[in-house]
Each structure stands twice: as C-alpha cells, then as structure tokens.
C-alpha cells in the first residue's frame, strides 16, 4: 500500500491508502428485483468502465449505457454512476452499475467485472476501505451495519444517529476533556517543587468530577443503545411439561413451538426474534431438563445448557401445581450454568388456586420471581415489563444512540481508569500515577472510534457485514 496526497475528511487530514485490488460485489440482495446494483471500488475503475461501457461516465451523473461482454455483446442496459475518489463512499474511485435485478444478469455482470480485473469483495470491505480512508470512524462503520440489521424503527433511528457521528462526537468530547486534565496534571509533574499546589487546585478536582459525570451519562446511553441494537437474549428453561413452549408461543403471539402434554416434546432449540415496545428480544425455547438416556434428548439438553450460559436472562419455569416444588427447584438450579441471572417463573397459576406458591429458593441463585399462566395469559404483561427492566430498557426515546457490547466494555474500562486517577489525586496527590491512568482511559476511548485498533478487531467487525457494503 502506498500513500497518496492527504485530503480533508471530518475536519482532519487523511492520507488515502491505495489498495492493490479493485473490489466488486452486488450491493442488492440476490434474487428477483426491479433493479440490481453492482458496486466497484479501486484503482482499476476507469479501466473497467472502458471495457464494460466503452467510456468513463462523467462524475456523479446518471449515465444510461449498455453493459457489454468481451465480445461486445450486451449483457444488460442500465445506469452507470461514477464517483471519483476521494469524494466517494470508500474514498477510492467507485462505479455503480444499476441493471435489472435478476440472478442471471447480476452474475454475468459481475463475471465481466472480474474478467476486467476486479476481485470479489469480502463482507464489509467497502466500509472497511471507507474507514481506512478516514471517511467514517469505527463506531460509525459499526452503525452502518446496525442500520442495515435494525429490526425496529427505533433501532434504525438510533443507528442513524450514531452513523451521523453523534456517538463519536460524545466520545471526542470526552477525549478532549481528558486531554485538558492530562495537560494540567503533566504540568504539575514538570514543576515538582510546585506539584502539591497544582494538584491541590480545586479547579482540577472539579474538572475530574465533571469528566466522571459525562462519562457516566455516556455509559448509560451506550448501555441503552446496546440493548436496542443487540437486544436481550432470554432462554426459557425448566422441567419437561412446565409449559416452556406454551410461554414462547404466548410471548410470540403465534404458534411457533409444538405443545403437547407429553413430557419431552421439545428436543432442539427453537429461536424466535420478538419485540417488546421496540426492545429486540431473542427468545430461545429449550428441551426440558431431566435425567434421560435417549441420545437425542441428551443432545437437546446439552444445547439448552450451552444457550443458557450465553443468555442475558434465564426464565426458569416451574409448574406451580406440581408436588415437591422445593426439591424440583433445587434439581433444576443444579443444572443451570453458574452465574446466569435467573428469574423463577411459576406457571399454570390458573390451576394452582389463588395462593401464590411459596418461595422455596435458598441458594441465592434466583434474582426474582413471578407467577403466570402461559395458557390464559395471566401475568404475561408483568413478565414483559420485567424483561424490559432486566435490559435496563426505558422505552426508545428520541435521542438514543446505537452502541455495541464492545463500546460498553470500553467505556467501563475508561470508568475504571478515571476512578483510579481520581483516587490517586484525592488520596495520594500522586500526579504521575494519575497521569498514567488518564492516558489509559484515553486509549480505551480511542478503541471505540478506532484510533487505536488491531487487525483482529477490524476483522471481527467487518466480517459481520453483508457483502456489497
Ligand atoms: N393449565 C395450564 N396448562 C398449561 C399451562 N402452560 C402449559 N400448559 C400445558 O402443559 C403441557 C405442556 O406444555 P408445553 O408448553 O409443551 O411444555 P414444555 O415445558 O415445553 O414441555 P417439553 O417441551 O416437553 O419440555 C401442555 O398440555 C400445555 O397445554 C398453563 O399456564 N396452565
Ligand atoms: Mg416444549
């Protein structure tokens, strides 16, 4: 890769990277459609345009043309759009071909573009180039994928705000505030004879407290945004016949799972993607947990346990009419992976009489308890509200930002470093140690926007994109 002259993007000087390969992919999903779009980006765009269209279209003008194969025979007739770099999505020369959206046309068009020198783009490679060329920062690039994957209008709005740079702007504000703190502290270190006075300055303490507060506010929003983007994964577990599949169907509002009175009906995991007032919910129904020698049922239970270990919440269902609930509960709890938050849900309350079942848990594993009837719907609204509370979801307000678990983790590390920096300041007046913690906090912030990144992180983020974006 060689560097070309720098240009300005987002108010910064950025050096364009010249990638060795020109990439191409269909930007529209495969299948039938009125229009199908092939996108090409890289150094060979002009050459490919000449081969395919006979000329390079004028920049940013819709150009009606025949797309031709090597022998000059038309493949399709459509619009070509040329965006010269750096004023394109990727920052490179880009050509968009809008043809007829059929599989045969798209395949023939792509084959011709490959013949002319491009190679097939990896998932997310266009956006990765946009990031490497400073068109977007990493948090914005992630918001592109979140916008495409958004399953509700509130998630889409939140992703768009992050894509437009709202989240990144807040992170930069924090970086700026941290830089000022560091300047103050490092000045103190440089004048050791006055260090104590510098560090006793109330303005410094006030500023450190302000940084903590802005960080806490951003962390709250990022948590909310994470839930909106990624949703809450809930596993329904419990003994056979407890009513797990009935509860899944009740939450979904349709018959997703088979329900019978035969214990052991569900054997495989069943996943449904639902929505509670804009909160995306991934609900997984599982095979009932019990002793079994049937290899299919045992495999089902193994998968159930694996899903529970990754869940944000386990709803442990118990038949409220069953005898010996205390022993049953102990047996069920023993089968749960350690550390998952559990809500104990008594089901079949329509048959259990008016009195709520006693509270038999003594293990401390159960975080909360509820009573429902999956059959009649009693208590289901309360359960929905409970799940929203578990997610820390307070309804999708207008200003929500999209965020990911990765961002929340980074912000938590920032918080830890700032807390330690403040401790060093307040308890020990230790300037150097404080400066070190502030530096680490700033680095953790840089991971969010991608100023600090690793190839492995980039690989993980962009490989989850769709091809053609
Ligand atoms: N009265 C009453 N019956 C219920 C309720 N929920 C489920 N049932 C019944 O209990 C039986 C078992 O329900 P399922 O939903 O298949 O139970 P499950 O936990 O998925 O069972 P497995 O898949 O075998 O582990 C069925 O006959 C349901 O109609 C309820 O709230 N009240
Ligand atoms: Mg079932």
Q: Among 235, 238, 246, 269, which residue has the most ligand 1 atoms within 8 Å of its CB, making it the best to mutate?
A: 246
Same domain for 384 and 243: yes
The closest-lying atom of ligand 1 relative to the alpha carbon of residue 378 is 31
Of the three residues 390, 422, 440, the one that is the final residue of a domain is: 390
444's CB contacts (< 8 A; 6+ apart) are 410, 411, 413, 414, 417
Residue range of the domain that includes 188: 148-228+401-450
pLDDT in tens, 76-125: 999 999 999 999 999 999 999 999 999 999 999 999 999 999 999 999 99
In a domain, residue 84? The reply is yes
Residue of 243, 263, 234 lying closest to 352 (CA atoms): 243
Same domain for 273 and 216: no
In a domain, residue 183? The reply is yes
Same domain for 69 and 6: yes
Can you tell me the distance from the alpha carbon of 17 to that of 3, in angstroms, rounded to the nearest whole number?
A: 5
pLDDT in tens, 196-246: 677 788 888 999 999 999 999 999 888 888 888 888 899 999 999 999 999
Closest ligand to C-alpha of residue 249 is 1
Closest ligand to C-alpha of residue 379 is 1
Same domain for 311 and 333: yes
Q: What angle do CA 236, 238, 241 make, to 5 degrees?
A: 105
The closest-lying atom of ligand 1 relative to the alpha carbon of residue 236 is 19
CATH code for the domain of 102: 3.30.1360.120
Query: What's the whole-number mean pLDDT along residues 43-68?
Result: 97
The closest-lying atom of ligand 1 relative to the alpha carbon of residue 248 is 15
In a domain, residue 466? The reply is no
In a domain, residue 460? The reply is no
CATH code for the domain of 183: 1.20.120.430
Same domain for 242 and 209: no
Take residue 319 and report the two structure tokens written for it.
């038949």
Of the three residues 360, 390, 420, the one that is the final residue of a domain is: 390
CB 167 within 8 A of CB 449: no
Higher pLDDT, 430 or 344: 344
How close is the Cα of 268 to the center of ligand 2, in Å? 9
Same domain for 50 and 193: no
In a domain, residue 101? The reply is yes
Same domain for 272 and 208: no
Closest ligand to C-alpha of residue 348 is 1
Can you tell me the distance from the alpha carbon of 130 to that of 469, in angstroms, rounded to the nearest whole number?
A: 10
Same domain for 170 and 33: no
Same domain for 165 and 72: no
How many domains does the chain contain in total? 3
pLDDT in tens, 316-369: 999 999 888 788 888 888 888 888 889 999 999 999 876 666 656 566 778 889
- The Cα-based distances of 378 to 25, 248, 272, 374 in angstroms read 51, 14, 21, 7
The string of DSSP codes covering 364-429 is S-EEEEEE--TTT-TTHHHHHHHHHHHTT-----TT-----HHHHHHHHHHHHHHHHHHHIIIII-
Residue written as token pair 């830089």: 179
Same domain for 284 and 358: yes
R_g over Cα of the chain = 28
Could you tell me the pTM of the whole model? 0.73
Take residue 95 and report the two structure tokens written for it.
């050509």
Same domain for 262 and 371: yes
Q: Label residues 255-280 b or e (16+ Cβ within 10 Å = b).
A: ebbebeeeebbbbeebebebebebbb
Of the three residues 136, 171, 201, the one that is the final residue of a domain is: 136
Can you tell me the distance from the alpha carbon of 233 to that of 303, in angstroms, rounded to the nearest whole number?
A: 15
Q: Among 259, 268, 357, 377, which residue has the most ligand 1 atoms within 8 Å of its CB, making it the best to mutate?
A: 259
pLDDT at 1: 45
Same domain for 290 and 437: no
In a domain, residue 396? The reply is no
Is the pLDDT at 257 greater than 60, yes or no?
A: yes
Can you tell me the distance from the alpha carbon of 204 to that of 300, in angstroms, rounded to the nearest whole number?
A: 58
CATH code for the domain of 276: 3.40.50.300
């Amino acid at each position: 890769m060689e560097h070309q002259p720098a240009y300005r993007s987002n108010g910064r000087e950025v050096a364009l990277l010249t990638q060795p390969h020109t990439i191409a992919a269909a930007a529209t999903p495969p299948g039938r459609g009125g229009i199908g779009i092939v996108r090409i980006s890289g150094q060979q765009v002009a050459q490919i345009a000449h081969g395919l269209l006979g000329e390079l279209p004028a920049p940013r003008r819709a150009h009606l043309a025949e797309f031709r194969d090597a022998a000059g025979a038309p493949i399709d007739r459509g619009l070509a759009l040329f965006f010269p770099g750096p004023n394109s999505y990727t920052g490179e020369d880009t050509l968009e071909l809008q043809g007829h959206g059929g599989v045969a046309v798209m395949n023939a068009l792509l084959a011709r573009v490959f013949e002319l020198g491009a190679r097939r783009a990896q998932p997310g490679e266009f956006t990765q180039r946009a990031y490497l060329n400073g068109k977007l920062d990493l948090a914005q690039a992630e918001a592109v994928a979140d916008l495409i994957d958004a399953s509700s209008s509130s998630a889409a709005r939140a992703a768009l705000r992050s894509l437009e740079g709202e989240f990144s702007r807040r992170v930069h504000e924090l970086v700026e505030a941290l830089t000022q703190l560091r300047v103050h502290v490092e000045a103190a270190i440089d004048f050791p004879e006055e260090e104590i006075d510098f560090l006793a300055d109330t303005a410094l303490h006030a500023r450190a407290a302000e940084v903590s507060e802005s960080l806490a506010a951003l962390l709250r929003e990022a948590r909310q945004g994470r839930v909106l983007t990624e949703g809450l994964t809930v596993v329904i577990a419990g003994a056979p016949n407890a009513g797990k599949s009935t509860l899944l169907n009740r939450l979904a509002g349709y018959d997703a799972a088979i329900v019978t009175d035969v214990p052991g009906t569900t054997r495989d995991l069943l996943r449904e993607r639902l929505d509670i007032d804009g909160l995306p919910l991934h609900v997984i129904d599982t095979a009932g947990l019990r002793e079994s020698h049937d290899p299919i049922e045992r495999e089902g239970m193994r998968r159930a346990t694996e899903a529970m270990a990754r869940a944000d919440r386990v709803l442990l269902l118990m038949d409220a009419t069953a005898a010996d609930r205390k022993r049953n509960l102990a047996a069920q709890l023993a089968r749960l992976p350690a550390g998952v938050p559990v809500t104990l849900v008594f089901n079949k309350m329509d048959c259990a009489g008016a009195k709520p079942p006693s509270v038999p848990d003594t293990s401390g594993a159960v975080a909360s308890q509820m009573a429902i009837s999956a059959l009649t719907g009693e208590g289901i609204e309360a359960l929905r509200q409970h799940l929203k509370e578990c997610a820390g979801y307070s309804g999708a307000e207008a200003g929500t930002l999209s965020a990911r678990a990765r961002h929340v983790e980074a912000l938590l590390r920032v918080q830890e470093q700032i807390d330690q920096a403040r401790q060093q300041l307040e308890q020990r007046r230790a300037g150097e140690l404080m400066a070190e913690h502030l530096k680490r906090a700033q680095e953790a912030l840089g991971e969010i926007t991608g100023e600090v990144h690793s190839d492995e992180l980039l690989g993980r983020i962009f490989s989850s994109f769709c091809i053609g974006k």
